[in-house]
Amino acid sequence: MKPSRRALSASLFGLATGITGWPSPARAQVWPQRTIRFVVPFPAGSSPDVTARIIASKLSDSLGQTVIIENRTGAAGIIGADLVAKAQPDGYTLLYPVNSVICANPHLYSRLPYDGLKSFVPVTMTVRFGYVLLARPDFPANDIPGLIAAAKAQPGKFNFGSAGIGAGNHIVMEMLLDATGMRMVHVPHRDSALSVVTGESDLSMVPATTAVPLVASGKVKPLGVTLPQRLVALPNVPAIAETVPGFSGDAWHGLLAPTGTPPEVVSRLAAETAKVLEMPDVRKRLTDIGLTPIGDTPSQFSATVKSDFDRWGAAIRKANIKLD
């Protein structure tokens, strides 16, 4: 006996609803389902590495998946950035750089394997930090006004060390020279902070994470910090902007994902990271070493990346710095 038309229709309807009720593999996968890796393009023990590990440990708890650190060093951060730029945009491989990798390298190298603005989606700025202008212990000036007076009285007499041509602390020092009209000799050093301690360099812009303990040791003379305001960790060291209005030589660490990463993944990662950066123990660990926790939104971080890309590019062109 053949089934009635009504029975057949009901049967087909049930089959159809059963099929559409099955979850597709794409919808069934809720991020994260496995280990996430932060690619840090600098060595273990460096400032971004230390910060990334603090954040990753807490994120592992909040996301319910392990977050590991993978150090891919070399070529001023280019090797690690290229790895992430070419990774699957699925939220499991992320870049944890300093701003120079994204905002300076594209202006320093004529050919890069990644595009600073197009290869990545900014997720969140994790911390902002400044440099501390350190002088050798017997330097003739004790503050920024004294430095400017001494340097202008004897143009070209003093030198400043940096981590290398085009390094962040080289560019920020060039910004200060341009803003004040001082003339100095640039001398790259493998360890520019140590070069001030030993007296090989007269001055050096040193990242706050390295400068804070050096200042505490009494082995160097701090002249000023490059953030618009004083550092919590160095309250007695003036901001350079107190003498040179508007001067800012800030830098940042942040999380970036390969372009094409789903917006919902980017949003959740930014939100969870912001929660981590609000934890009192995390904030204390970061501020104690001269860092300011941020945890902004993807759109806010995108605006900063674009602004810094233009600002650092202008400084590099003005100082005529080129690496190839």
Tens-place pLDDT, residues 59-72? 999 999 999 999 99
- Does residue 135 sit within a domain? yes
Same domain, 283 and 225: no
Q: How confident is the model at residue 21 (pLDDT cuts 50, 70, 90)?
A: very low
pLDDT band at 47 (very low <50, low <70, confident <90, very high): confident
* Domain boundary, last residue among 242, 261, 277: 242
Claim to verify: residue 265 and residue 117 sit in the same structural domain:
yes
Residue 189 neighbours by CB distance under 10 Å: 18
Q: Is residue 274 part of a domain?
A: yes
Checking if the pLDDT of 210 tops 60, the result is: yes
Q: Give the range among 26-30, 58-62, 237-241 with minimum mean pLDDT.
A: 26-30
Residues 232, 277: one domain? no
Are both 206 and 306 inside the same structural domain?
Answer: no
The torsion region of residue 88 among left (phi > 0), alpha (psi -120 to 50) and beta comes to beta
Same domain, yes or no, for 193 and 214? yes
Residue 321 CB partners (closer than 8 Å, separation 6+)? 108, 165, 166, 170, 171, 174
What pLDDT score does 232 carry? 87
Is there a domain that residue 277 lies in? Answer: yes
pTM of the model as a whole: 0.84
Contact 72, 66 (CB under 8 A): no
The pLDDT of residue 5 is above 60: no
CB atoms within 10 A of CB 303: 13
294 lies in some domain: yes
Q: Which of 242, 264, 299 is the last residue of a domain?
A: 242
What kind and span of H or E run contains 133?
strand 131-135
- Strand-pair category, 67-71 with 36-40: parallel
| pLDDT confidence bin for 45, thresholds 50/70/90 | confident
Q: Does residue 200 fall inside a structural domain?
A: yes
User: Of 188, 179, 236, 231, which is closest to residue 210 (Cα–Cα)?
Assistant: 231
- Report how many domains make up the chain: 2
Domain span at residue 73 reads 36-129+251-318
Do 143 and 192 lie in a common domain?
yes
pLDDT at 9: 47
Q: Provide the mean pLDDT of the chain.
A: 91
Residues 198 and 279 in one domain: no
Residues 6+ apart with CB under 8 A from 289: 50, 208, 209, 212, 233
- Please give the share of the chain, as a percent, with pLDDT higher than 90: 84
* 222 has pLDDT over 90: yes
**CATH classification at residue 123:** 3.40.190.150
Radius of gyration of the chain (CA): 25
Q: Are residues 162 and 206 in the same domain?
A: yes
Residue 156 in this model has a pLDDT that exceeds 50:
yes
Let me know whether 111 and 149 are in one domain.
Answer: no
List the CATH number of the domain containing 144.
3.40.190.10
Q: Residue 23 pLDDT more than 60?
A: no
Q: Same domain, yes or no, for 105 and 156?
A: no
Q: Is residue 113 part of a domain?
A: yes
Q: Once rounded to an integer, what is the mean pLDDT over residues 168-188?
A: 96
C-alpha distances (whole Å) from 294 to each of 128, 212, 229, 282, 284 are 7, 20, 15, 12, 13
Q: 58 lies in a domain?
A: yes
Residue 74 lies in a domain: yes
Q: Can you read off the two tokens belonging to residue 273?
A: 């990271």
pLDDT at 3: 52
Q: Which two tokens stand for residue 260?
A: 């094409």
Distance from C-alpha of 103 to C-alpha of 308, rounded to nearest angstrom: 6
